[in-house]
Structures are given as structure tokens and as C-alpha cells.
Amino acid sequence: MTILITGSRGKVATNLIPLLREHGLAVRAASASPDKLTVPDGVERAVCDLDDPATFPAALAGVESVFLYANPQHIEAFLADAKAAGVQHVALLSSSSVFEPGADTNAIAAMHSAVERGLTCSGIPSTFLQPGGFAGNALGWSWAAKSTGTVDHPCPGAQSAVIHEADIADAALAVLTRPELRGHAYHLTGPASLSVTEQVAILAEATGRPLTVNTVSGEAWKESMAEFMPASIADALLSYFTSHEGHPDAVTGTVEELTGHPARTFASWARENADAFRP
């Protein structure tokens, strides 16, 4: 069985690919720039640019299962080519934003919902992994933490049950290798709901240096993000922060149900990545 991994430069994929190889599975690591991939021995590289349908047929040839990143731009073409290639299962990296309040006007939710709908209509058996915030999103604070010891945020009390990307990879491994788990949607979270202030405090403990949170306006935060994300995504994040200010995020036990181990803590992620927050 060959498994196509799209977005193979992403953090989830780079954790997932070695796991699949350890299970003796044939893996095709796909990216718009496969020459930039670092993959284990025996992993095939392939061009698959989700913005370029011309790359789909060759990437999908001989593939039985796909780990798919959510890009709705050409999802119909991708799924048509997947069906023609005989793909039997797609595991989608979706998002818990699809069932958040206001999802119909949220750009992040809309992107993932469009791909979920495409898969549902395609007739290809599909599994939706729906994580909340990634622990690795905290790396967006690293430059400020290193240079000033201060993290700017519009809603320091906004809570999220952030999940370690390695846990998402473990969950993906489970649904890709155990047929009885397929065909469902799984809400994946970390083990605890943490505010931004609490996350920064955990990072401070891991790095052994003081870090503080500075409250800024939503407009100022959005302006500071303009170089890194479209305005629609920044607006979606601001909406999330506002709605979760002071409100605990949902915590599920789905990671343990799928993998057999408890979800990793944000503190463990912080220890693994402490150097990114040190001068």
C-alpha cells in the first residue's frame, strides 16, 4: 500500500512520515518543492502542488491512501484524479473551527469545511482529523520573546486546548493503518485548556527566563500580522480569540482513544522548543 502525504514540509507530515516507514509502509512524500524535503530512507519524493492540478495525476498514481492538507482551491480536481487513480481512503487534516460558533463567516472554518464537503460528495471513504490550535503556533511569539521578553496579544485570556503536532501525527497513523477507525470525524485536543498568559508562563519556565504578555488592540495585532497572513485569516483568529477570552476550550480524550497514550502537554512541547525562545 502506497500512502501519499501532501504538504510534506509541514510539522504534522514530518512527524507522520517516519511513523509510517517504521510500520513498513510505502510512503510518497509530496510537496510543491520535493527537492527541499528531508525524508527517511526508502521514502519516495513527488511533486504535488495543491495549487496546480497538473501535478495531481502523477502524484496519485498507484496510491491507495492519502493524507491531505486542506486546500479548497482545486479540491474537486484533486478528488476526481484520486478517484480515477483508485484511492481507497483519504485522511484529511481539517480543523475544529468547522464547528465553532460563527463558522459560516470564518475564513479558516470555510477553507476546511469546503474540503470536508468535497470529500463527502466524492464517494471516497474519508476520515476527518479536526484539531484545535497547534502548540507550534507559539513559535509565532519566538522573535519577540527572544528580543524583548514580551509577547503582544489582543486577548491574553483567550483559551485553547493546544495540541502537540506529534499527537496529530500519531492520530493520523492510527486512522491510516486501522480500517475500523476510518469514516469518522475526530476532534483532537491537548490535555488542558490554557490561556495565552498561561502558555507564555509555561514557556518562561521552560526557557528559564522571564516572559510577559502585553495586551494590544486587535487592530495593532492585525497590523503586526499583515506580513505573515491574509487579512481574512487574521480576522478569523481575532474572532476566535475574542470568543474564547476567559472561556475554557473543549478538551477531548480522542488522542488517547486513537493512539493509546495521553495527549502530550504544552509543557512538553515548550521544553522541546525552548531554544527558539532564548536569545
Please report the pLDDT score of residue 47 as a whole number. 97
First to last CA, the chain: 46
The 3 state secondary structure assigned to 52-90 is: CHHHHHHHHCCCCEEEEECCCCCHHHHHHHHHHHCCCEE
pLDDT, mean of residues 93-105: 88
Strand, helix or coil for residue 143: helix
Cα 254 to Cα 81: distance, rounded to the nearest angstrom: 31
Query: Which 3 state secondary structure label does DSSP give 261?
Result: coil
Select from 24, 25, 33 the least CA-distant residue to 6: 33
Rg over CA atoms, the chain: 19
Q: How far apart are CA 171 and CA 64, in angstroms?
A: 18
Residue 196 pLDDT: 98
The pLDDT mean for the chain works out to 96
Average pLDDT over residues 137-164: 97
- Residue matched to cell numbers 495586551: 215
Residue 103 has pLDDT above 80, yes or no: no
pTM comes to: 0.96
Predicted local distance difference test score (pLDDT) of residue 1? 82
pLDDT at 104: 79
Pairing of strands 159-160, 194-195: antiparallel
Residue 128 CA to residue 7 CA, distance in Å, equals 16
Q: What is the pLDDT of residue 250?
A: 95
pLDDT at 242 over 90: yes
pLDDT for 112 equals 96
CB of 158 closer than 8 Å to CB of 240: yes
97: three-class secondary structure by DSSP? helix
What does the pLDDT look like over 181-224, one tens digit per residue? 999 999 999 999 999 999 999 999 999 999 999 999 999 999 99
Model confidence pLDDT, tens digit, residues 3-51: 999 999 999 999 999 999 999 999 999 999 999 999 999 999 999 999 9
Kindly tell me if the per-residue pLDDT of 102 is higher than 90: no
Mean pLDDT of 252-274: 98
* Cβ count within 10 A of residue 179: 11
Q: Is the pLDDT of residue 241 over 80?
A: yes
Give the domains, in start order, of the chain with CATH numbers: 2-134+164-188 (3.40.50.720), 135-161+191-249+264-277 (3.90.25.10)
